[in-house]
Structure 1
Amino acid sequence: MEKIVQALRMEREKPFCAYIYDLPKLRQHVNQLVTTLPSSCRLFYAIKANSDETLMKTLAPIVHGFEVASLGEIEKVRAVDQKIPILFGGPGKTQEEIEGAIHYGVTLLHVESLHELQLVNHIASQKGTTVSILLRVNLRHSVPNAQLKMAGVPTQFGIDEVEVPQAIALAKKLPNVKLLGFHFHAMSNNGDSKAHAAFVDHCYELAKRWGKEWDIDISYVNVGGGIGINYQNIDEQFDWDDFMKSLHRVLEKHKDANWQTLFECGRYITSSCGYYAAEVLDIKQNHGRYFCVLRGGSHHLRLPAAWKQSHPFTIVPIEKWSYPFMRPEVNESEITVAGELCTPNDILARDQFVSRVRVGDILLFSYAGAYGWAISHHDFLSHPHPEHLYVESDSIGHSDAPKFVEI
């Protein structure tokens, strides 16, 4: 990727700032996930992580479907694929969104409250149809070390576990909804493979208990996503192979269950294929600390500021220097990486040791393919948007020059 960035910089006059997506890397990664899943499992891509059209078109032939959280996301999916299965969740759905879900043929609608359950039934009855639903459960216990929790703690998500029997009873009485199972998305950015398998086991136990008590013919159990990325130590990532071994044991334990298990991963699918590259505009020292100021920042890559963490990066040296005066640089020191915004909160990395960095070099942030551009406040201060570039080649590491598609 370093040589690619250097070549791209040489083609441009203005300071370089871009998102770069490695599409062969994305295909290889997701193919490996899909092919190693047990046959009773399905992998959906949660497009909230990154709803970039090119990435969605790349993923559509590989994943089993897409998970969405708004009518706008439903429309994005249908613009890419008219028939691919869609799961629709979210803590607050409008009448327009539910009508849109019916219109666009959403496969499963995740119902998050007793009110929403009645609203879905009412809208479906007006349209003379039946909507297939899963009840979203806010568990009383979740994965303890996940960075964000949607269940196991008081949140706006799902139906409290203790109220699920009431929701089941209501769903069974309503003529225009068809209860097919349960949705247990409970956490975000969990890095513990064994804890994740234990979570799946717990979901199965509850689903089996409710299915037996209420005579539900369960077709699906959605265990959500939540598989994380270790941004602090990129060499220690979620152990997918270990998770698969543990998952097989869990499935064997529950082999009497005749349902499909749905995963709706976002971050874990696209994060590693994306890079954010930003050129160093200035280097300064204030109060004894060095700051590298970028052409870019948290208005493009909000994730580090949102989670108050340092995002991993490497330095891409750029030898071209067009000015007649000395080029500022820092050697063998710690730097803080700041963006171009007029706020002290615009920080992408703090106190990171570098051997050498100069004005005009480019910082290349890895694992930027999820919750980067999609969640950022793009137009704050009206700076130019970054370019969005897509690397395409026959295989990763191919010696031929990569092809680029620019939007």
Structure 2
Amino acid sequence: MSATNKVKPTHCEMSQFETSGDQLVINHVPVSQLCDRVGQTPFYAYDRSVIANNIHQLREQFNSLANLHYAIKANPMSALVDFISPLVDGLDVASGKELTVALNSGISPNKISFAGPGKQSQELLMAIAAGVTINVESAIELERIMRICDSSNYAANIALRVNPDFDLKASGMKMAGGAQQFGIDAEKIAQLTPLLQHEKINLKGLHIFTGSQNLKSEAIQAAHNNIFELAAKLSEQLNCSLDHLNIGGGFGIPYFPGETPLDLPPIADNLAKLRKAYQKQFSTTEIILELGRYLVGNAGVYITRVIDIKQSRGENFVIVDGGLHHHLSASGNFGQVIRKNYPVKIANKINQTQSQTATITGPLCTPLDLLAKNMQFPEIEIGDLVAVFQSGAYGFTASPRDFLSHPQPIEVLV
């Protein structure tokens, strides 16, 4: 076997993976061998070495400035969460099932937070009994928590999720500013003061999350400036010191042509300035960066196998055994207004010369089932392996896997 080399980047960062000859290598395992090991295609493979390196790079930039939490919603695979848990300072969950995954990882409950605008009463009881921090999304939710505490004799740790009057510019998905289902409008926070006096309610902090998938360093810096200013104002209104201030994440990864990786040092430099400027208000406050996609997105690859090839009126079509039912976001049907191709390569011909234009589709009876539209590839044959990169976040669990009742994919941590 020939020596390993790094994958040549295409229109986004794929250089975290190695190659051996013409084979993609995932954490020292050639892709064809990995297929045999998994026992089927399609499957998702997550490279633990890439995840660890992502966390290491964040630690280098933000080690003395903020603690790092993993947002499980990005990828809740139990083995992956168990791997990440000891490498970060906390976990953030968005459902009772994710809460169970987080608790099973062995992390201390006081390092877990629970967000989401529609928590069920049973989920609230689970969180209160476990001792995790609930990010309260409304006055009614706070009242429900109080009733559970009264009836159960538990005390609840809470943080107030705030919907600010600003958003994260240039974000892929805005989750603050204007009218939102998320959080409590900033101007209404002070109205909660009487409820917060309840003897079994422990106010721990604030959660101010403004948007996701942002590649503009200056936009994130502006959001952080506004978050610190608002948090200082609210802590004065509530007349309390904050144990923690969760400033969310929003750190994006490049997927499409023209996108470049997020520049972290300016964000860290700005955060250092904010820590100094607000030293009086937040001298004992834990600042939390809550990241999901940035930790795991580039560590995942979706592998599917070619089962048919056809030409139709001058165009080449390659049909594979996976598709939008397994990887909705790569199909372009998970938030894209204008469809763009994820980075896709032939995993067993990774270094061969591109010689044809082809469209790669899945097996479903819908024209929406696209994995690559008119992309350049080497000569493709039946049995070749197609790799969709940047697939570690919002892939497996964000897809309609029962659509048309095709076989399910598998997830493996390599």
Structures share a fold, TM > 0.5? yes
Shift of residue 185, structure 1, vs aligned partner: 1.4
Distance 2:155 2:59 in 1: 31
Is the contact made by 1:147 and 1:188 (CA closer than 8 Å) also made in structure 2? yes
2:260 pairs with 1:224 = no
2:409 pairs with 1:383 = no
For the residue of structure 2 that corresponds to 1:210, the secondary structure is helix
Distance 1:318 1:367 in 2: 19
Is the contact made by 1:34 and 1:62 (CA closer than 8 Å) also made in structure 2? no
* 2:130 aligned residue: 104
Is the contact made by 1:171 and 1:178 (CA closer than 8 Å) also made in structure 2? no
Within 5 Å, give how 1:2-401 maps onto structure 2. 2-3=24-25, 4-9=30-35, 11=36, 16-81=41-106, 83-84=108-109, 85-106=111-132, 108-167=133-192, 169-233=193-257, 236-256=260-280, 257-258=282-283, 259-304=285-330, 305-308=333-336, 309-317=340-348, 332-391=355-414
* 1:400 aligned residue: none
Distance 1:58 1:377 in 2: 26
Is the contact made by 1:301 and 1:373 (CA closer than 8 Å) also made in structure 2? yes
Amino acid paired to 2:208: F
Describe the shift of the 1:138–1:333 C-alpha distance in structure 2 as closer, same or farther (beyond 3 A).
same
Describe the shift of the 1:384–1:189 C-alpha distance in structure 2 as closer, same or farther (beyond 3 A).
same
Is the contact made by 1:27 and 1:58 (CA closer than 8 Å) also made in structure 2? no
Structure 1 residue runs of 4 or more that deviate by more than 4 Å after TM superposition: 12-15
* 1:322 aligned residue: none
Shift of residue 297, structure 1, vs aligned partner: 0.8
Amino acid paired to 1:180: K
For the residue of structure 2 that corresponds to 1:144, the secondary structure is coil
Is the contact made by 2:54 and 2:294 (CA closer than 8 Å) also made in structure 1? no
Is the contact made by 1:181 and 1:207 (CA closer than 8 Å) also made in structure 2? no
Is the contact made by 2:66 and 2:287 (CA closer than 8 Å) also made in structure 1? yes
Shift of residue 292, structure 1, vs aligned partner: 1.8
Describe the shift of the 1:312–1:253 C-alpha distance in structure 2 as closer, same or farther (beyond 3 A).
same
Distance 1:86 1:6 in 2: 38
Is the contact made by 1:15 and 1:295 (CA closer than 8 Å) also made in structure 2? no
Shift of residue 243, structure 1, vs aligned partner: 1.9
Shift of residue 209, structure 1, vs aligned partner: 1.1
Shift of residue 213, structure 1, vs aligned partner: 3.1
Distance 1:20 1:197 in 2: 33
**Identical-pair percentage:** 31
Distance 2:143 2:158 in 1: 12
Shift of residue 13, structure 1, vs aligned partner: 12
For the residue of structure 1 that corresponds to 2:380, the secondary structure is strand
Shift of residue 280, structure 1, vs aligned partner: 1.6
Shift of residue 288, structure 1, vs aligned partner: 4.0
Describe the shift of the 1:234–1:67 C-alpha distance in structure 2 as closer, same or farther (beyond 3 A).
farther
Shift of residue 82, structure 1, vs aligned partner: 5.5
Shift of residue 207, structure 1, vs aligned partner: 1.0
Is the contact made by 2:165 and 2:176 (CA closer than 8 Å) also made in structure 1? yes
Shift of residue 343, structure 1, vs aligned partner: 1.3
| Higher mean displacement: 73-82 or 284-293 | 284-293
Shift of residue 265, structure 1, vs aligned partner: 0.8
Tell me, which stretches of 5 or more residues in structure 1 are unaligned? 320-329, 392-407
Describe the shift of the 1:261–1:13 C-alpha distance in structure 2 as closer, same or farther (beyond 3 A).
closer
TM-score by length of 2: 0.85
Amino acid paired to 2:406: H
For the residue of structure 2 that corresponds to 1:126, the secondary structure is helix
